[in-house]
Chains A and B, each alone.
Chain A
Amino acid sequence: MTCPLRSRSLLASLLTRKKMDSSILEPSLYTVKAVLILDNDGDRLYAKYYDDTYPTAKEQKAFEKNIFNKTHRTDSEIALLEGLTVVYKSNIDLFFYVIGSSHENELMLMAVLNCLFDSLSQMLRKNVERRALLENMEGLFLAVDEIVDGGVILESDPQQVVHRVALRGDDVPLTEQTVTQVLQSAKEQIKWSLLR
């Protein structure tokens, strides 16, 4: 009675083998499978999937949950999950992930992650945390749009990205800002000028 079972497992192993053999990458610009930003509860703040690895919202949520559980306690930059290479970075209460195929050049994925983080860091004046990010969601949307387009790395230089996103801050006159806002930005400017 176990005959079909046996042949099935053999078939499966042969298939795996075939996949392994074809591990020479088909040269392609499609590098990134997904870009994710989660908060420290593992909830999605931003997610963009560029191919059909996780077609439905339900599968995506499950994947994000898995990824968060496996990474939020360790600060180790890179992992292999569900057959995909995941490079990640955390800062205060934010978790940034860039996901690619397990055959992908890890350093390319890392370049995307660094570019995303550095661009946001500049845009948020080094204040990369959940609250600041949520107040600048449109900046995030535009930045990711400049970094990856449909899975192709569009730009990897944070300077260029920030330049292209070109959020102008001066259109809010000083009078419209609250006192706390003014104080906050003044404080930050002093802090960074001291640190420099």
Chain B
Amino acid sequence: MIKKFDKKDEESGSGSNPFQHLEKSAVLQEARIFNETPINPRRCLHILTKIIYLLNQGEHFGTTEATEAFFAMTRLFQSNDQTLRRMCYLTIKEMANISEDVIIVTSSLTKDMTGKEDVYRGPAIRALCRITDTTMLQAIERYMKQAIVDKVPSVSSSALVSSLHMVKMSYDVVKRWVNEAQEAASSDNIMVQYHALGLLYHLRKNDRLAVTKMLNKFTKSGLKSPFAYCMLIRIASKLLDETEGGHDSPLFDFIESCLRNKNEMVVYEAASAIVHMPNCTARELAPAVSVLQLFCSSPKAALRYAAVRTLNKVAMKHPSAVTACNLDLENLITDSNRSIATLAITTLLKTGSESSVDRLMKQISSFVSEISDEFKVVVVQAISALCQKYPRKHSVMMNFLSNMLRDDGGFDYKRAIVDCIISIIEENPESKETGLAHLCEFIEDCEHTVLATKILHLLGKEGPRTPQPSKYIRFIFNRVVLESEAVRAAAVSALAKFGAQNDDLLPSVLVLMQRCMMDSDDEVRDRATFYMNVLQQKQKALNAAYIFNGLSVSIPGLEKSLHQYTLEPSEKPFDMKSVPLATTPISEHKTDNAPVATSKLPDKLTPSRQDIYQEQLAAIPDFQGLGPLFKSSEQVQLTEAETEYVVRCVKHTFATHMVFQFDCTNTLNDQLLQKVVVQMEPSESYEVMDYIPATNLPYSQPGSCYTLVRLPEDDPTAVSCTFSCTMKYLVKDCDPNTGEPDDDGYDDEYVLEDLEVTVADHIQKVLKPNFGAAWEEVGDEFEKEETFALASVRTLDEAVGNIISFLGMLPCERSDKVPENKNSHVLFLAGVFRGGHDVLVRARLALADGVTMQVTVRSSEETVVDVILASVG
């Protein structure tokens, strides 16, 4: 039933917004009529509406003025006008956080919530719970319990939802209402059922047994509310996820049975739950996929969208499961909702054959300008995946990407395109020149500093090695003239790389450098001066060390070492080798990004794992004087997964020592372990120096103990060794519930698996972007070469993988990827040996009846070369 406003508002001009020119002060002035007797409900109502409207528009109310208006408003409780009263509740809720002393209305609200007027009761409960704190809550607890089981649905729902809101604040109080909630869950009203289920789960979610019981009960008895069914499906799939068991449990059967529910919302929820389960088999997926297929032809856009989005997700892992839907997806390409069309196409790109790629790409380009950035990113990701699948299609893709690069778009979108082009360039050498040309064109007009510097870095790396390096110089130098400081500095670095690599370009580069030395920015000038001087020396080794392959130390580590050096100045110059090395990314995992928009991420540089270990070890007095931490290995399991004690070991390598960190977990809740050490028996001439015990190891709280070992000094080539390990400790039995231990215990021991130290533990990976230059820099003073036959290896890929993992060095120049159908390959590996000596390995592999391998090792230290060759042999 509609209610018209006063006449004067009617006259304020037709079509205009009667609230448009509201002044906060004027409205608050008007609020004075709240104090008039008798109360004029309609005028007061209108003023309250204005106040809420202003709050809604984001108008700021000061505490004093809000409190004043609030107190005036409380008088309106005297009126019996229903709408006015309801607006009072709303005002209370809106002002709960702005005004002071809002609890003054508690008694009025309590009266309304227990009164006869059903229209008041629900809203009064919700308003009351907004202004109540933990102490006050106890006072109204009785009323809340009654309200939860009230037979009026709106009252019960309001009480349940308000209880849920208050769980965060007063868990202990709300927990006591479980029985009432339980009773409400069997209500006939669908919303009450849903809210009760939600509250019950929230109160019990930390108790798995209770959740399981609850699930059993409701899945058996059945529910009326589709919302409640969705909630149950979510609870069931979470439980399934945690149990890590197979999918043959009743929980999975329940979810699957929901695929046959009458309500689309429930069917979709169940299908989506099945699709999102990790390690789902094709057979388990099939029924879910077929309901999604039905939804694809629904007249409701939201349903089509939901279905195709979920199918897209399936296509990432199980493209074959979706092929049955290809026909339906084809129909969606022309959908008027562009989001649906995009998702359909990207799904088809994943499931379709190579021949359909051209046609699909043409389809997308027809409407790519109409879709939102989020979906453009989805398209780019699909293309990126496609390029890996069909490398021969790179020219079509590259064209398409460059067109997209020219269009308008936000940063995330452009970054996705640039990343995609870069990955294509890396995968396909023949696409390098076109790709670089597109990127050059892009930086001519690029507003994103991060992307410009990234591309300049790439140009510096790849440009000098193309047949015509000179054509990139113009693009780079344009940046020096036109861009911001960060980009100019990156451009200078890129220029230097051209000068260092191409002798015929060197004179021109030097001239350009000269001009950069007049730049207005410090960083740009410094870089130019530095590169200028290096380049003028015309020495390959200097170029390699300072231009191609920059620092490989960890930046936080360098900062710390320099700070230390300034605190204790000494005669000796600062030694770069004392700085811990940066832990290079092992390999850039391709993320299988779902077609969900990139969420906001904190762009912060967190310390690497090794920096954290360094910090922890430095805190232990016994390990002072070991020098900087050289390398920390991955965790090694020394026990089976399901044993009494779980022990993992991390091997920390220092210049002349090793520290073994044993992370132990006690899984017995009736035992307390004390003085835990791991005793180690070396097979070689390693010497165990010290044990640092873990003093206390209570149930399920991980603790660490350490063993310090000195590396053999007399025989530097003895790098590998096997240790037999035994954990020794004092056991005290304790009460499983309280954790209170007995007074006396007994000694015990536990045999662990043997621990291997290999050559890889002594070598840290470093990235040499330009391996050739580094190879020349180290020189052939200590070069050694040997040939081996790897009889047991059948393919080049396998051989390459084995060598990399055995030596623990980083493959350079993407030489870890063996091109298809080749029977010879060259692998380049770079690393730093303990003590700071560069090691480079070149392994030529030939496939003929097993793999033959010729290994050439160069290093700045002879023993290192021997160590490597000895360990390979």
Interface residues of A (CB under 8 A from B): 1-8, 10-17, 19-20, 23-29, 39, 44, 46-48, 57, 60-61, 70, 74-83, 87, 102-103, 105-111, 123-125, 130-132, 134-139, 141-142, 145-146, 149-150, 152-156, 160, 164-172, 177-178, 181
Q: How far is the CA of A14 from the CA of B590 in the complex (A)?
A: 9
Given A8-B603, A145-B90, A156-B191: A168 and B374 within 8 A (CB)?
A: no
B791 touches A (CB below 8 Å)? no
Instruction: Check if A150 sits within 8 Å of B161, measured CB to CB.
Output: yes
B241 touches A (CB below 8 Å)? yes
How far, in Å, is A19 (CB) from chain B's closest CB? 6
Segment at the interface with A among B137-145, B302-310, B846-854? B302-310
Instruction: Check if B58 sits within 8 Å of A61, measured CB to CB.
Output: yes
How far, in Å, is A69 (CB) from chain B's closest CB? 10
Instruction: Check if B603 sits within 8 Å of A14, measured CB to CB.
Output: no
How far, in Å, is B116 (CB) from chain A's closest CB? 15
Which residues of chain B have C-beta atoms less than 8 A from A142's C-beta? 83, 86-87, 90
Q: How far is the CA of A23 from the CA of B592 in the complex (A)?
A: 13
Instruction: Check if A166 sits within 8 Å of B585, measured CB to CB.
Output: no
Given A17-B591, A78-B302, A149-B158: A107 and B268 within 8 A (CB)?
A: yes
Instruction: Check if B52 sits within 8 Å of A141, measured CB to CB.
Output: yes
Partner of A29, one of B93, B231, B268, B454: B231
Partner of A76, one of B57, B164, B336: B336
0 or 1 for each of B757-790: is its CB under 8 Å from A? (1 = yes): 0000000000100000000000000000000000
Instruction: Check if A5 sits within 8 Å of B58, measured CB to CB.
Output: no
- Nearest residue, chain A, Cβ from B552: A3
Instruction: Check if B372 sits within 8 Å of A79, measured CB to CB.
Output: yes
Instruction: Check if A105 sits within 8 Å of B272, measured CB to CB.
Output: yes
Q: How far is the CA of A24 from the CA of B594 in the complex (A)?
A: 13
- Nearest residue, chain A, Cβ from B41: A171
Interface residues of B (CB under 8 A from A): 1-5, 7, 9-10, 14-15, 17-19, 45, 48-49, 52-53, 56-58, 82-83, 86-87, 90, 93, 119, 122-123, 126, 154, 157-158, 161-162, 164-165, 191, 194-195, 198-199, 201-202, 205, 227, 230-231, 234-235, 237-238, 241, 264-265, 268-269, 272, 276-277, 300-303, 305-306, 336-340, 370, 372, 374-375, 450, 453-454, 457, 490, 493, 550-552, 555, 582, 585, 588-589, 591-594, 596-601, 603, 605-606, 608, 767
- Nearest residue, chain B, Cβ from A106: B306
Instruction: Check if A166 sits within 8 Å of B119, measured CB to CB.
Output: yes
Which residues of chain B have C-beta atoms less than 8 A from A166's C-beta? 82-83, 119
- Nearest residue, chain B, Cβ from A19: B599
How far, in Å, is B323 (CB) from chain A's closest CB? 24
Residue among A39, A75, A152 with the highest chain B CB neighbour number at 10 A: A152
Q: How far is the CA of A11 from the CA of B609 in the complex (A)?
A: 12
Instruction: Check if A137 sits within 8 Å of B157, measured CB to CB.
Output: no
What 7 A-B pairs are tightest by C-beta distance, nearest first? A169-B1, A57-B58, A76-B337, A29-B198, A77-B301, A27-B234, A83-B597
Which residues of chain B have C-beta atoms less than 8 A from A2's C-beta? 453-454, 457, 550
Q: How far is the CA of A46 from the CA of B54 in the complex (A)?
A: 10
- Nearest residue, chain A, Cβ from B46: A138
- Nearest residue, chain A, Cβ from B767: A3
Q: How far is the CA of A135 from the CA of B227 in the complex (A)?
A: 33
Instruction: Check if B195 sits within 8 Å of A152, measured CB to CB.
Output: yes
CB<8 Å pairs between A and B, sample of 8: A17-B589, A44-B57, A78-B305, A105-B230, A106-B303, A131-B14, A132-B2, A154-B161
Which residues of chain B have C-beta atoms less than 8 A from A81's C-beta? 372, 374, 597
Partner of B339, one of A6, A76, A178: A76
Q: How far is the CA of A158 from the CA of B596 in the complex (A)?
A: 32
- Nearest residue, chain B, Cβ from A132: B2
Which residues of chain A have C-beta atoms less than 8 A from B17's C-beta? 39, 130, 134
Q: How far is the CA of A113 from the CA of B583 in the complex (A)?
A: 51
A80-B375, A167-B1 given; 12 more Cβ-contact pairs under 8 Å: A14-B589, A16-B591, A23-B594, A80-B339, A80-B596, A106-B303, A107-B302, A130-B17, A134-B19, A135-B9, A170-B1, A172-B3
Q: How far is the CA of A80 from the CA of B337 in the complex (A)?
A: 11
Partner of B56, one of A16, A47, A76, A146: A47
- Nearest residue, chain B, Cβ from A12: B601
Which residues of chain B have C-beta atoms less than 8 A from A83's C-beta? 374, 596-600
Q: How far is the CA of A81 from the CA of B596 in the complex (A)?
A: 10
Which residues of chain A have C-beta atoms less than 8 A from B4's C-beta? 135, 172, 177, 181
How far, in Å, is B79 (CB) from chain A's closest CB? 12
Q: How far is the CA of A60 from the CA of B56 in the complex (A)?
A: 11
Instruction: Check if A137 sits within 8 Å of B90, measured CB to CB.
Output: no
How far, in Å, is A28 (CB) from chain B's closest CB? 7
Q: How far is the CA of A103 from the CA of B201 in the complex (A)?
A: 20
- Nearest residue, chain B, Cβ from A107: B265
Instruction: Check if B194 sits within 8 Å of A29, measured CB to CB.
Output: yes
Instruction: Check if B191 sits within 8 Å of A155, measured CB to CB.
Output: yes
Partner of B596, one of A6, A61, A102: A102
Instruction: Check if A60 sits within 8 Å of B58, measured CB to CB.
Output: yes
Partner of B599, one of A16, A107, A138: A16
Q: How far is the CA of A172 from the CA of B93 in the complex (A)?
A: 28
Q: How far is the CA of A177 from the CA of B2 in the complex (A)?
A: 12
Q: How far is the CA of A132 from the CA of B161 in the complex (A)?
A: 31
Q: How far is the CA of A4 from the CA of B162 in the complex (A)?
A: 48
Which residues of chain B have C-beta atoms less than 8 A from A169's C-beta? 1-3
Given A24-B238, A155-B157: A5 and B195 within 8 A (CB)?
A: no
Instruction: Check if A141 sits within 8 Å of B227, measured CB to CB.
Output: no
Instruction: Check if B302 sits within 8 Å of A3, measured CB to CB.
Output: no
Which residues of chain A have C-beta atoms less than 8 A from B83's C-beta? 138, 142, 166-168
Q: How far is the CA of A81 from the CA of B338 in the complex (A)?
A: 13
Q: How far is the CA of A41 from the CA of B589 in the complex (A)?
A: 45
How far, in Å, is A120 (CB) from chain B's closest CB? 11
- Nearest residue, chain A, Cβ from B594: A20
Partner of A110, one of B277, B302, B593: B302
How far, in Å, is B291 (CB) from chain A's closest CB? 13
Instruction: Check if B2 sits within 8 Å of A106, measured CB to CB.
Output: no
Given A13-B591, A19-B599, A141-B52: A164 and B119 within 8 A (CB)?
A: yes
Which residues of chain A have C-beta atoms less than 8 A from B453's C-beta? 2, 5
Given A14-B589, A80-B339, A135-B18: A156 and B597 within 8 A (CB)?
A: no
Q: How far is the CA of A61 from the CA of B123 in the complex (A)?
A: 29
Q: How far is the CA of A153 from the CA of B272 in the complex (A)?
A: 21
How far, in Å, is B240 (CB) from chain A's closest CB? 9
Residue among B4, B162, B164 with the highest chain A CB neighbour number at 10 A: B4
Instruction: Check if B589 sits within 8 Å of A8, measured CB to CB.
Output: no
Which residues of chain A have C-beta atoms less than 8 A from B493's C-beta? 1
How far, in Å, is B816 (CB) from chain A's closest CB? 17
- Nearest residue, chain B, Cβ from A10: B585
Instruction: Check if B49 sits within 8 Å of A7, measured CB to CB.
Output: no
Q: How far is the CA of A160 from the CA of B48 in the complex (A)?
A: 24
Instruction: Check if B276 sits within 8 Å of A102, measured CB to CB.
Output: no
Which residues of chain A have C-beta atoms less than 8 A from B58's C-beta? 44, 57, 60-61
Instruction: Check if B265 sits within 8 Å of A111, measured CB to CB.
Output: yes
Partner of A3, one of B7, B306, B336, B550: B550
Q: How far is the CA of A135 from the CA of B12 in the complex (A)?
A: 12
Partner of B165, one of A3, A47, A146, A150: A150
- Nearest residue, chain A, Cβ from B91: A141
Residue among B123, B340, B591 with the highest chain A CB neighbour number at 10 A: B591
Instruction: Check if B276 sits within 8 Å of A28, measured CB to CB.
Output: no
Which residues of chain A have C-beta atoms less than 8 A from B201's C-beta? 27
Instruction: Check if A168 sits within 8 Å of B57, measured CB to CB.
Output: no
Q: How far is the CA of A150 from the CA of B605 in the complex (A)?
A: 36
Which residues of chain A have C-beta atoms less than 8 A from B588's C-beta? 10, 13
- Nearest residue, chain B, Cβ from A61: B58
How far, in Å, is B603 (CB) from chain A's closest CB? 7
Given A11-B606, A76-B339, A135-B4: A152 and B198 within 8 A (CB)?
A: yes
Instruction: Check if B161 sits within 8 Å of A138, measured CB to CB.
Output: no
Partner of A137, one of B49, B126, B300, B596: B49
Partner of A106, one of B87, B123, B302: B302
Q: How far is the CA of A16 from the CA of B490 in the complex (A)?
A: 28
